[in-house]
Structure 1
Amino acid sequence: MTTVYFYLLVGVLSVAFALRAPALVRHWRDPLVRSVSLLLPLGAAVFFFAAPPTISQVNAFTGIPNFSVPLVYGIVTAASAALINLTITWRGGPRDRRRTATRWCVGVYGALIATQFTLFALGDASEERLRDFDTYYATTPYVREMVVLCVLAYGLANLVLARLCWRWSREVPGLLRTGLLLIVTGSALSLGYVACKLTAIGARWAGHDWDGVSTTVAPTVSSLASLLQCVGLALPSASQCVMSLWRRWSRYRRLRPLWLTMRAVTPYELVPIPWGSSLGKRQLRRTCDIRDGLRLIAPRLDHHAQELDHHAQEGGRADALPATLHPDAARHVALVVAAFDTLHGTGADAGECSLESMLSGDDELLVRLSDALRVLAVPDHTGSPDSGRSSLLERTSDRV
């Protein structure tokens, strides 16, 4: 595996963590969010410190040959602990029980990390090895125990994660299931990495040289496994983010017909929205403009709602439009009234489609009103752009 590939994986994992960072900030108290988010920077740290140039720099900086080895193994062990904590959180159960299990996991794997550094200090690894440390020192006392201990701890964590995610994947649909299956595949490949490492080390113990399995095959399998696991972890959150953004944009776009009509009704000039405004600010501004216009024509819509219940007991000023409206506003008011008619004609509850509901913050109802307005204002089969609207105005002119 080339050096560029190490740093490429660091970039991919960093981007995956950046995608989850907003959720981590908003839901820091959620143990599941913390567990998933912690894995990504740990994975990036593993590949960053495992890259041969970084290994040389760390060894030179500390002045200790091969100091990068226990450092990388310590980060790998911490990532394994994070995997087990993730399985504990996903499994659910009583909070006290999960908290106790998490503490045990942190304690045991913390002791493993301390043991690895202790074994490295006791062993003799004075010759720097950038790529074949595991097999070169496979017969060195204390150092071989350190290597085997780390590999087994990593394999156990992936075995538990694969088993849990496989069970869960049979209970959930959609992209969440896809993400879980990617994690299962990555965990299975991680077990292949463990097998490669132990095979090469065992071959050294038997007097054979199978170093290529450890130095070439194992890193390639590990990189692919980590990539699949991180994509699987990020896929559900990324898809939810994209779908949420699409729904917000769709709602903003669907409000446009009603917003344009309200602009014609509103007697004052609307302040333009700044070019760099976010979608949330744009949607808030659009709904506020719409509600301002609806308040101006509230007498007409209120009168219409009363007609649906008890044949309009009042007339006169209640039927009149405000004098401050634009001279051509009656045509646009007719469109809104007809769209209001359409909502009530769809069988929806009158209370749900009332003017009070529209003005109280129900954005979904505004979207439905805008959709009805858009359908009513389209050209008819004659192809004339104004014919559909003209026929609509004829039907509603007796009300405005």
Structure 2
Amino acid sequence: MHDLIYGVGALAGWIAFAYKANHLRHDRSNPALRAMTAAFGFAAVAFTLTVGPVYQPIDAALGVPNLTKLLIHSCMVLFSVFALQLLAYWRYPARRARRRARMQLVAGLIVLATMATLILLAPIHDRYTIHFWKTHAGQTLMLGYLTLFLLALSSGLLVIAWRAGQFAALAQDLPWLRRGLRITSVGALLSFGYCVCRGGYLVLLAAGVHADPLVDIAEPFATAGLIVFLAGLTMPSWGPRTRLEQRGAYRALEPLWSALHRAFPEIALHGSPHGDVAAVGDLDYRLYRRMVEIWDGRLALRPYVADPYPEPEPDLRRRAEAEARAIRDGLRNHSEGRTFAVPAGEERHEARGHELAWLVAVSRSFAHATDTRELDHA
């Protein structure tokens, strides 16, 4: 049963990895897609190595009994690290996201180095055992090793669940992305059930109670959590919602996004507007990211806008035209180095659930006004 449960998880991991690797082949400059593909790959490797017919020959080839467990646990930690990097690239401008991604990777490598030291020093390499947790968890160094592993994995899973839930609340205009993020959050929580079961086993073991069934109960949580997690992150790619409308909205945001990107390059995921062409299967993610970057650019523009909060208009078209004028004037002031006092209070914007329609209207008004000005000066 152990091999069947983890074998199913391994198969799901390799399918998801191949699916995203194909997208990555067409979009190698996308760091978020690289992080997602890496996370899927490490998950697939971890579950594959756990299957007995794979585990035993690799363990024998390494020449150190039970050392393959370090490879499995390392891949699981790296899975959570790259999943956190993916969320960082979705949430933050490129420079800040890269900095956070480096910090996350360094923290992960420190954890792995400590785990490697503990397992190599532990007296568990005299004989091979398939019942690793039940046989060695009571040993002092292994108790520290397994505790560190569970803390690293569980903290990553909880942050993933929290962040995915946050992003889902912001993606009201992208239903398949919203559903996918919610399912991703559920998958992370299911996977956390693995940590709860194994962690409970360690706590009871330290108290002198051998609750071996907890070790076995954890396995279905791991596989079910991974499958749900992978389904959630790939779901926006297979949603049937009118892709022409999505692509049309994505292109409609191009004039406004490009203008803000030229003024504030740090808001963009990619270094060039030409590097932000929507990849097949990732349109929901790209559209969501473009919306976030426009809001980031509008926030960066605030000091250059004389009246960042014009009187609200009842008509959407007039409101969009007023906003487009404010952005155009702010960009001109930015190029001339003219700033204004930023009023206290938070940035106002359209009610949640209408961001995409609002930004498309503003971008079209912005593009129309820009074209008109160019004709007037021709």
Q: TM-score, normalised by structure 2?
A: 0.61
Q: Residues 134 and 201 of structure 1 are in contact (CA less than 8 Å); yes or no, is this contact kept in structure 2?
A: no
Residue equivalent to 1:85: 85
Residue equivalent to 2:49: 49
**Which structure 2 residues correspond to residues 39-188 of structure 1 after superposition, within 5 A?**
39-93=39-93, 95-125=94-124, 126-130=126-130, 132-173=131-172, 174-188=175-189
1:212 pairs with 2:207: no
Could you tell me how far apart the structure 1 residues matched to 2:139 and 2:208 are? 14
Could you tell me how far apart the structure 2 residues matched to 1:2 and 1:121 are? 25
Could you tell me how far apart the structure 1 residues matched to 2:14 and 2:74 are? 20
Could you tell me how far apart the structure 2 residues matched to 1:199 and 1:65 are? 26
Percent of aligned pairs with the same amino acid: 23
- Count of residues paired in the alignment: 244
* Pair member with larger Rg: 1
Shift of 1:66: 0.6
What do the CA deviations read for 1:147-187 (whole angstroms, capped 9, x no partner)?
A: 11111100010111111111111122411111111111111
What do the CA deviations read for 1:164-219 (whole angstroms, capped 9, x no partner)?
A: 111111122411111111111111112211110111111111111101101x1101
Paired amino acid for 1:170: A
Q: TM-score, normalised by structure 1?
A: 0.58
Q: Residues 193 and 222 of structure 1 are in contact (CA less than 8 Å); yes or no, is this contact kept in structure 2?
A: yes
Paired amino acid for 2:56: S
1:29 pairs with 2:29: yes
Residue equivalent to 2:11: 11
Paired amino acid for 2:201: A
Paired amino acid for 1:213: L
Shift of 1:52: 2.0
Shift of 1:136: 2.4
Residue equivalent to 2:229: 229
Residue equivalent to 1:327: none
Q: Residues 59 and 65 of structure 2 are in contact (CA less than 8 Å); yes or no, is this contact kept in structure 1?
A: yes
Paired amino acid for 2:162: R
Paired amino acid for 2:149: C
Q: Residues 187 and 229 of structure 2 are in contact (CA less than 8 Å); yes or no, is this contact kept in structure 1?
A: yes
Runs of 4+ in 1 over 4 A off after TM superposition: 242-245
Shift of 1:18: 2.2
Structure 1 residue runs of 5 or longer lacking an equivalent are 248-400
2:140 match: secondary structure: coil
Could you tell me how far apart the structure 2 residues matched to 1:198 and 1:129 are? 20
**Which structure 2 residues correspond to residues 339-358 of structure 1 after superposition, within 5 A?**
none
Q: Residues 32 and 90 of structure 2 are in contact (CA less than 8 Å); yes or no, is this contact kept in structure 1?
A: yes
Could you tell me how far apart the structure 1 residues matched to 2:210 and 2:184 are? 33
Residue equivalent to 1:268: none
Shift of 1:4: 2.9
Residue equivalent to 1:192: 193
Shift of 1:14: 1.7
Shift of 1:244: 5.4
Q: Residues 42 and 75 of structure 1 are in contact (CA less than 8 Å); yes or no, is this contact kept in structure 2?
A: yes
Q: CA RMSD in A?
A: 2.2
Could you tell me how far apart the structure 2 residues matched to 1:100 and 1:15 are? 30
Q: Residues 134 and 144 of structure 1 are in contact (CA less than 8 Å); yes or no, is this contact kept in structure 2?
A: no
| Structure ranking higher on relative contact order (CA contacts 8 Å, 6+ apart) | 2
Q: Residues 3 and 50 of structure 2 are in contact (CA less than 8 Å); yes or no, is this contact kept in structure 1?
A: no
**Which structure 2 residues correspond to residues 323-342 of structure 1 after superposition, within 5 A?**
none
2:28 match: secondary structure: coil
CA 1:180 to 1:59, structure 2 compared with 1: closer, same or farther past 3 Å?
same
Could you tell me how far apart the structure 2 residues matched to 1:83 and 1:187 are? 10
Q: Residues 135 and 201 of structure 1 are in contact (CA less than 8 Å); yes or no, is this contact kept in structure 2?
A: no
Could you tell me how far apart the structure 2 residues matched to 1:135 and 1:75 are? 21
Q: Residues 159 and 187 of structure 1 are in contact (CA less than 8 Å); yes or no, is this contact kept in structure 2?
A: yes
Q: Residues 35 and 85 of structure 1 are in contact (CA less than 8 Å); yes or no, is this contact kept in structure 2?
A: yes
Structure 2 residue runs of 5 or longer lacking an equivalent are 247-378
Q: Residues 190 and 222 of structure 1 are in contact (CA less than 8 Å); yes or no, is this contact kept in structure 2?
A: yes
Paired amino acid for 1:78: L
1:142 match: secondary structure: helix
Could you tell me how far apart the structure 1 residues matched to 2:11 and 2:108 are? 27
